[in-house]
Structure 1
Amino acid sequence: MKVSREFFSRDTLVVAKELLGKILVREFDGKIIKGRIVETEAYIGPIDKACHAYGLKKTPKVEPLYGEPGIAYVYSIYGMYYCFNIITKEKGSPEGVLIRAIEPLEGLNIISENRFKDSYENITKAQKKNLANGPGKLCIAFNINKQNNWEDLIISDSLYVEESQKSYNEKFCDFDIVETTRIGIDYAEEARYFPWRFYIKDNNFISKK
Structure 2
Amino acid sequence: MRKLERQFYDRDTILVARELLGKYLIHHTHGKTLIGKIVEVEAYLGPHDLAAHSAKGRTKRTEVMFGPPGHAYVYLIYGMYFCMNVVTEKEGHASAVLLRALEPVQNIEGKTSGPGLLCNAMGIDKHLHGHDLLSSDFYIAAPDHTPPHVIVKKPRVGVAYAKHWAKRLLRFYIKGNPYVSKP
TM bucket (normalised to shorter chain) is over 0.9
Which of 100, 107, 114 pairs up with 1:134? 114
Alignment of 1:125-204 (within 5 A): 131-154=111-134, 156-166=135-145, 172-204=146-178
TM-score by length of 2: 0.96
Q: Match for residue 121 of structure 1?
A: none
3-state SS in 1 of match to 2:153: strand
TM-score by length of 1: 0.84
Q: Which has the higher strand share?
A: 2
- 8 Å contact 1:164–1:173 — kept in the other structure? no
Runs of 4+ in 1 over 6 A off after TM superposition: none
2:148 & 2:144 partners in 1: Cα distance?
11
Q: Considering only aligned residues, what root-mean-square deviation do their CA atoms show, in Å?
A: 1.1
For structure 2, the 5+ residue unaligned runs are: none
1:86 & 1:46 partners in 2: Cα distance?
16
Q: Match for residue 45 of structure 2?
A: 44
Q: What does the per-residue CA deviation read over 1:26-76, in whole Å, with 9 as the maximum and x for residues that have no partner? A: 110111010110000000123211111116x11111000001100000000
Matched to 2:65, the amino acid is L
Q: Match for residue 98 of structure 1?
A: 98
| Number of residue equivalences | 182
Q: Which has the higher helix share?
A: 1
What fraction of aligned residue pairs are identical, expressed as a percent?
43
Q: What does the per-residue CA deviation read over 1:105-141, in whole Å, with 9 as the maximum and x for residues that have no partner? A: 111xxx22xx3xxxxxxxxxxxxxxx10100000000
**Which has the larger Rg?**
1
What's the offset of the Cα at 1:186? Answer: 1.1
